[in-house]
């Protein structure tokens, strides 16, 4: 009888927490910490290169180069996703203590990453480093507290490393946004910046590459993959918003961009199945929850369309976290991510995938940057679209959106 009573109490406490979203936030924090801790703790201790287990795609294209850049990939992508939370405040005592630890790790990690004398000095040469320097720059845009906490000498080294990436000519694709993000970082923090790199990227997407119904092509051709989420929408919105803080340069594009972003958020939410799975389509699928970067981004920006209640998005994303990061085999015995979507599936890797690449999954945790009092966390649980409709509930028909 006593055991039954305890089980009853645990069940009901859990139900109450789920209704308020508190248990979801605790779960997200646990999953974020499990994912991010090895990267941030080891780089802060100047031990990332000696401790990180680097797996490469079976068909890797340039093994030597990919091995060198894997560490910057892991750091830039991890920091970008956790930055809003590290920059935040409040929460339970346990959460505040954890945030303080990550704040400390973040400043030390940055210092080691750009210090030529450190064992963990990262590779900032031509090619792939442009991509992950851009993710790191995005993290600084999201976490000004971290940037302001850095010593002036560390800031100078960061800026010099970022300037090194200008030697890489981006491909005529979403890579234009990586160059633009570096320059946007310079713009935000008062350094000399190249407006041409920003303007060219924004105008290619705004004038030439929008294909309709919330979707952009990735260069001249449209690809049925998740890159509208993985890079295009979140990067484009951040760049435009930062420039708009100084001028009205993109005033005419802004409402169209926001309308397209809202529609794509609807499409993302509808692509999450009733059990938290989603279509395994296109390249970079081993980014796991990184494919829902845009939906998480729109949530933390508080820009979800009226058709999506924040609680239903929270519950949908919680389900995808469980189906990917929460599955056995997704991490090795020492806590490093392994290649796959649900467990270890190296056959799903594209030719450029390394262990470091996988840490873009951190972007799903962006809503942790919202306080626990925000509707995203405080509202009772709600079923998302697929869960409602496949349970037999009625709903509204879906239609394309024209700009």
Confidence of residue 309 (pLDDT cuts 50, 70, 90): very high
What's residue 166's pLDDT?
Answer: 98
Residue 301 has pLDDT above 90, yes or no: yes
Assess if residue 399 is contained within a domain.
no
**CA 168 – CA 176 distance, rounded (Å):** 11
What's residue 394's pLDDT?
Answer: 97
Residue 337 has pLDDT above 90, yes or no: yes
Assess if residue 33 is contained within a domain.
yes
Mean pLDDT of 189-216: 98
For 234-376, where are the E strands, in sequence order? none
What's residue 20's pLDDT?
Answer: 57
Residue 187 has pLDDT above 50, yes or no: yes
With a CB cutoff of 8 Å and minimum separation 6, the contacts of 195 are 183
Mean pLDDT of 288-308: 98
Distances (CA, A) of 349 to 263, 269, 310: 29, 25, 32
Q: How many domains does the chain have?
A: 1
Mean pLDDT of 336-342: 98
Number of other residues whose CB lies within 10 A of the CB of residue 41: 19
**CA 334 – CA 331 distance, rounded (Å):** 8
Assess if residue 151 is contained within a domain.
yes
Number of other residues whose CB lies within 10 A of the CB of residue 322: 14
Please, is 3 exposed, middle or buried when counting C-beta atoms within 10 Å of its C-beta (0-12, 13-18, 19+)? Answer: exposed
| pLDDT tens by residue, 255-276 | 999 999 999 999 999 999 999 9
What's residue 21's pLDDT?
Answer: 82
Assess if residue 296 is contained within a domain.
yes
Assess if residue 16 is contained within a domain.
no
Mean pLDDT of 49-75: 97
Contact 105, 37 (CB under 8 A): no
| pLDDT tens by residue, 234-257 | 999 999 999 999 999 999 999 999
Q: What is the CATH number of the domain that holds 101?
A: 1.50.10
| pLDDT tens by residue, 104-161 | 999 999 999 999 999 999 999 999 999 999 999 999 999 999 999 999 999 999 999 9
Q: What is the DSSP string of 156-186?
A: HHHHHHHHHGGGSPPPSSTHHHHHHHHHHHH
Assess if residue 134 is contained within a domain.
yes
For all residues of the chain together, what is the average pLDDT?
95
**Of 17 and 312, which is predicted with more confidence?**
312
* Residue 317: HSE in the Cβ half-sphere, 13 Å Cα cutoff: 37
pTM: 0.94
| pLDDT tens by residue, 5-54 | 333 333 333 343 344 588 999 999 999 999 999 999 999 999 999 999 99
Assess if residue 335 is contained within a domain.
yes
Assess if residue 196 is contained within a domain.
yes
Range of the domain at 223: 21-389
């Amino acid at each position: 009888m006593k055991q039954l009573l305890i089980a009853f109490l645990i069940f009901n406490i859990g139900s109450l927490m789920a209704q308020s979203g508190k248990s979801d936030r605790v779960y997200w924090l646990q999953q974020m910490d499990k994912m991010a801790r090895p990267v941030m703790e080891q780089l802060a201790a100047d031990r990332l290169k000696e401790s990180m287990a680097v797996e490469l795609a079976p068909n890797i294209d340039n093994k030597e180069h990919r091995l060198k850049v894997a560490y910057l990939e892991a750091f830039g992508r991890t920091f970008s996703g956790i930055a809003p939370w590290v920059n935040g405040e409040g929460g339970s005592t346990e959460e505040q203590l954890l945030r303080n630890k990550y704040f400390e790790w973040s400043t030390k990690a940055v210092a080691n990453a750009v210090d030529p004398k450190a064992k963990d000095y990262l590779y900032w040469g031509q090619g792939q480093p442009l991509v992950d320097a851009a993710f790191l720059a995005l993290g600084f845009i999201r976490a000004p507290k971290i940037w302001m906490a850095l010593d002036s000498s560390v800031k100078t080294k960061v800026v010099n490393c970022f300037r090194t990436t200008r030697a890489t000519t981006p491909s005529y694709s979403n890579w234009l946004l990586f160059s633009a993000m570096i320059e946007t970082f310079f713009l935000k923090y008062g350094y000399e910046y190249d407006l041409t790199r920003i303007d060219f990227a924004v105008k290619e997407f705004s004038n030439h590459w929008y294909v309709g119904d919330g979707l952009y092509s990735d260069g001249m051709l449209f690809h049925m993959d998740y890159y509208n989420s993985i890079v295009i929408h979140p990067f484009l919105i951040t760049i435009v918003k930062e420039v708009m803080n100084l001028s009205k340069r993109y005033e005419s594009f802004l409402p169209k961009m926001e309308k397209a972003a809202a529609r794509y958020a609807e499409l993302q939410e509808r692509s999450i199945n009733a059990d938290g799975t989603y279509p395994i389509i296109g390249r970079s699928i081993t980014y796991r929850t990184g494919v829902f970067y845009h939906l998480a981004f729109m949530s933390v920006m508080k820009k979800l369309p009226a058709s999506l209640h924040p609680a239903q998005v929270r519950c949908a994303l919680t389900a995808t976290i469980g189906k990917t990061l929460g599955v056995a085999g997704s991490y090795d015995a020492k806590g490093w991510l392994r290649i796959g979507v649900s467990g270890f599936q190296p056959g799903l890797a594209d030719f450029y995938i390394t262990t470091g690449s996988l840490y873009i999954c951190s972007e799903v945790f962006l809503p942790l940057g919202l306080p626990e009092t925000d509707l995203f966390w405080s509202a009772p649980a709600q079923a998302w679209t697929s869960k409602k409709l496949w349970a037999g509930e009625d709903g509204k028909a879906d239609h394309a959106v024209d700009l």
